[in-house]
Amino acid sequence: MKSLLTPKNDFVFKKLFSSNVEILANLINCVLETYENSKIISVVVKNSDIRPDEIKKKFIILDIHAVDETGREYDIEMQVRKYENYPKRSLYYLCKMYGGQLQAGHDYTELHPVIGIHFLDYEQFPGHPEFHYRFRIADIRYPGLSLNEDLILHIFELPGFERRIDENKKESVMEWLHFFNNAHKEGEKAMREHYTNPAVKKAFNALEALSADEKTREMAERREKALKDERMFLNEARKKGWELGVQEGREEGKKEGIKEGIKEGIKENRIEMVKRMLSKGIPVEDVSEISGLKIEEIEAIMRDGER
């Protein structure tokens, strides 16, 4: 029998929860720690389709956009790669979802809360003692005083969870975090003994079915390869930028020159990297997100290339 696919693969994650709204509703309830009388009964996934051509796009975000019966919207994703503009991109998408609810002529009272639930396969805040962070709009001096509860972002650092598992046993989401980190390494016996949440057991069975499907396995492997190619591409870009900068600094022959040389080398290499991404057909918005350059700057690079 082939090994199980990892639910930390963002394609597998989306496939698993988009086609099983019951386990998706349970995951949301566990994250929000809702009580019996306020639990989400059902959710509707609004972007469940995954086109085969999307898998090859290294920089695409395979998130899950869902809405519950009260109108609250959710952006749920498994973030498998770390990049500089993740906080900005997360806030942008939540605000976009929030603003997108209001049509012309509608009243502001028709706006519903938007909640982000992001699982990161890396540590966004290294050195901090937590693995679960909750962000909202609150007063700087009085954190308990929030403007409202309409924009909330939950971030779970999966590596941090493994290191602090003994200190945090009360959260209802714990079994889900263990599932994400370990399901692909565990057998059916461990699944029966370790998990008590029926929805997590159902997710384990669904993961087994996905793993046995050859087409799904092939697409998951293609997705994994695309992400590895992206990491290699970005690492090479950073390395080249550093080498160019050091060389520039050596020519200056002084400490300040090294700093400026590194900065200039990275800048030049970033332009080269942008040109390569554009030549591969990567959308301008994604290029901006990865490179850290503004869209106007990228468009200027495009115009220079046409001359």
| Proportion of the chain above pLDDT 90, given as a percent | 42
Query: Does the pLDDT of residue 73 top 90, yes or no?
Result: yes
The tens digit of pLDDT for each residue in 141-196 reads: 998 999 999 999 999 999 988 776 655 456 789 999 999 999 998 877 777 777 88
Query: Does the pLDDT of residue 56 top 70, yes or no?
Result: no
- Please report, to the nearest 10 degrees, the dihedral formed by the alpha carbons of residues 192, 197, 200, 205 taken in order: 40
Predicted TM-score (pTM) of the model is: 0.77
* Average pLDDT score, the chain: 81
- Please, which pLDDT band fits residue 208 given cuts at 50, 70 and 90? very high
**Whole-number Cα distances in Å, 216 to 12, 15, 213:** 8, 9, 5
Mean pLDDT of 60-68: 88
- Domain limits of the chain? 10-212, 228-306
The tens digit of pLDDT for each residue in 92-137 reads: 999 999 999 988 778 899 899 999 999 999 999 988 888 999 999 9
Token digits of residue 35:
């009580």
What burial letters (b/e) apply to 18-56, b meaning 16+ CB within 10 Å? bebeebbbbbbbbbbeeeeeeebeebebeeeebeeeebe
The tens digit of pLDDT for each residue in 232-261 reads: 766 665 565 545 544 544 454 444 444 444
The tens digit of pLDDT for each residue in 35-46 reads: 777 788 889 998
Could you tell me which residue, 305 or 114, shows the higher pLDDT? 114
Query: Does the pLDDT of residue 80 top 80, yes or no?
Result: yes
Cβ burial of 170 (10 Å; 0-12, 13-18, 19+) is: exposed
Could you tell me which residue, 24 or 255, shows the higher pLDDT? 24
How far apart are alpha carbons 11 and 49 in whole angstroms? 11
Query: Would you state the pLDDT for residue 261?
Result: 45
Return all residues near 192 (Cβ < 8 A) that are at least 6 apart: 201
